[in-house]
Chain A
Amino acid sequence: GQSLEQPSEVTAVEGAIVQINCTYQTSGFYGLSWYQQHDGGAPTFLSYNALDGLEETGRFSSFLSRSDSYGYLLLQELQMKDSASYFCAVNSGYSTLTFGKGTMLLVSP
C-alpha cells in the first residue's frame, strides 16, 4: 500500500523559516511533489523532487532523500499569505499521485 506522514499543523511568525516534513512508504516511487491549498480553494503545485537534494524556487525549497524515504518543504521569509495547507504527494509513475493528509501552516504577525 501507500502511506505518507506529515505533521497536521505547524505554527510560525512572519519572517521566520519553517520546515514541513514528509515521510512515505509506497510500492513505487518516481518523485515527491508539494502542493499548497488555501482554505476552501484549489490546490496548486509548488515543487517536485525526483532526485536526492534540494530544489529552490524563490522563497520555497524542497528536499528529498530517497534512501530515507523522506522529504521536506522549506518556506523562508514567511508571509501572512503563506497560511495554508501543504500536501506532499508521491508520483508512483502511473500518472496518479498519492497525497498525504496535509499540514496546516498558521503564520502569525
Chain B
Amino acid sequence: DGGITQSPKYLFRKEGQNVTLSCEQNLNHDAMYWYRQDPGQGLRLIYYSQIVNDFQKGDIAEGYSVSREKKESFPLTVTSAQKNPTAFYLCASSIGMTGRAKNIQYFGAGTRLSVL
C-alpha cells in the first residue's frame, strides 16, 4: 500500500538533546512537508521541500533542521535550540507545484514528542 510512514510514534527528549523524526513516503511525490500541531491549534508549517536536495523554511523553522537527500525521505531534527518542543509532529507529501489545481496533501500518522 502506498502511504507515508512516520516513526517513532512516541519520542522523548532530554534537555540539550537533538532528536530526529523519520518520514518516508512511497507515493512518488515530489513535495514533502513538516507541520507542528499544538493542542487546539492548527497545523503550522516548519519546513517543506519541493524537490530532492532543496528545502525552504516555513513559518516556525527556528530550532529545527531538515534534509532531503532522497525523494522518499524527509527527516526532521528537533535541536536543543527548540525550547518548547513538546507537540504532535505531522509529515505530509503531495505531487508538488500545482498552481491553481488542488494540492492534496497526504499525511502520516504523526510523532508525539515530549520533553523529559
Give which listed residue, B45, B58, B90, B97, contacts A43 with CB less than 8 A: B90
Interface size for chain A: under 10, 10 to 19, 20 to 34, or 35 or more residues?
Answer: 20 to 34
How far, in whole Å, are A48 and B50 apart by their CA atoms in the complex?
21
Q: Which residues of chain A are near B101, meaning CB under 8 Å?
A: 50
8 Å CB contact of A30 from B48, B100, B106:
B100
State the CA gap A40–B41 with chains docked (Å). 13
Q: How large is the interface on B (under 10, 10 to 19, 20 to 34, 35 or more residues)?
A: 20 to 34
- 26 A-B pairs whose Cβ atoms sit less than 8 Å apart in the complex: A33-B102, A33-B103, A33-B104, A41-B109, A42-B90, A42-B109, A43-B90, A44-B107, A45-B105, A50-B100, A91-B98, A93-B99, A95-B31, A95-B50, A95-B94, A95-B96, A95-B98, A95-B103, A96-B58, A96-B103, A97-B103, A99-B35, A99-B43, A99-B44, A100-B42, A101-B41
